[in-house]
Amino acid sequence: MSLVKDIIVAVKGYCMGAANVVPGVSGGTIALVSGIYEELVGALNAVMSPAPWKALLHGQFKEFWKEVHGRFLLWLVIGAVLSIFTLAKLIEHELRYHPILVWAFFFGLILASAFYMFRDIKGWKVRDVLFTVAGAVLGLVVCTLSPTSTPDSMWFIFLCGALAICTMILPGISGSFILVILGKYDYIMGAVSNMDVPVLLVFAFGCAVGILAFAKFLNWLLAHWERQTMLVLLGFVLGSLVKVWPWNDLDSCAHAQLLRTDLMPAEMIESGSSADAYNVLTGLGETLDRQVPGAILWCILGIAVIVLIQVLSSKQAKS
């Protein structure tokens, strides 16, 4: 039975990994739905506590493994890593060939997540609105004033990992969403699908440092300032919706349309200005109009996914 339990934990880890791949779905939300959130937070706190490591230094490996919920974390990580590596290539392919539909789906995910965050906050007051507006302004500033292309330097990849992993234990916001805001979602997904080991190692190291450095602080923040934190996060998510607007990057839309046609060889598309070529060949506005119904459908599908997760979460809480 212990092996069956381990496999179940791995399946839950797979679902959390899938959530972390998709911007807008929080891995913490999946942990809540599947009933492992408290154990996950407890395991992370144990890893960051000195007592288990003192036991390890004294050669008490079994005691260390038990204190940090080692078996639970191992199978959870196995499931999450397997999920990330199996889904990354699919999402990268769809972002290249159907960016409007993919971003519409992500837009629906994030919009619905913001709605449930708003619903969970009761008894609104003027200061609550101010916290939310401050978060929205912060989100807009991050999205609109950040450069269109962030650096690919290893220090920035490390920073992305450190920031993204911290959101794993925050309700309502996902690590992949942070990568979208930082302009490195496509880059990291490409590194996963292409097995770019140096980039993945630096990103993983950033994740490890981030979770060790900030998880306790985030837990403290939620314990002492939960309402204010959630209000700022809600505003941040709303303000950041501009980043995942399906037609935010018209060059990518034009490039994807050319890749789906036989009007130009792929080599010419990759080497030239796809937006200019596409405007000459077919007219960008006309094609974007044709994709509106599909974008609406995929946005609704993204909303439906969040609604389903919330329904399951409610049932889990009542059981």
pTM for the structure as a whole: 0.65
Is the model's pLDDT at 26 over the cut of 70? Answer: no
Could you tell me how far CA 3 lies from the centroid of its own chain? 30
Burial of 200 (0-12, 13-18, 19+ CB in 10 A): middle
Neighbours of 228 (CB within 10 A): 15
* pLDDT tens-place string over residues 131-172: 999 988 887 876 666 555 778 889 999 998 988 887 666 655
- What's the confidence (pLDDT) of residue 274? 47
Average pLDDT, the chain: 77
Q: What percent of the chain has pLDDT over 70?
A: 73
DSSP state, residue 64:
H
| Distance, CA of 275 to chain centre | 29
Q: Enter the tokens of residue 277.
A: 């070529």
Q: What is the spatial distance between Cα 268 and Cα 189, in angstroms, rounded to a whole number?
A: 24
pLDDT digits (tens, 9 = 90+) for 97-136: 788 888 888 788 778 878 877 887 888 889 999 999 998 8
The answer, yes or no, to whether residue 287 has pLDDT greater than 60, is no
Buried (b) or exposed (e) across 113-137, using 16+ Cβ within 10 A? bbbbbbeeeeeeeeebeebbebbbe
Which helix (H) or strand (E) segment holds residue 119: the answer is helix 99-120
Average pLDDT over residues 273-286: 48
Query: Where along the chain do its domains lie?
Result: 2-85+98-247+298-318
> How does DSSP assign 167-188, residue by residue?
GGGSTT--HHHHHHHTT-HHHH
- Give the Cβ contact number of residue 293 at 10 Å: 9
Alpha carbon distance 233, 173 (integer Å):
8
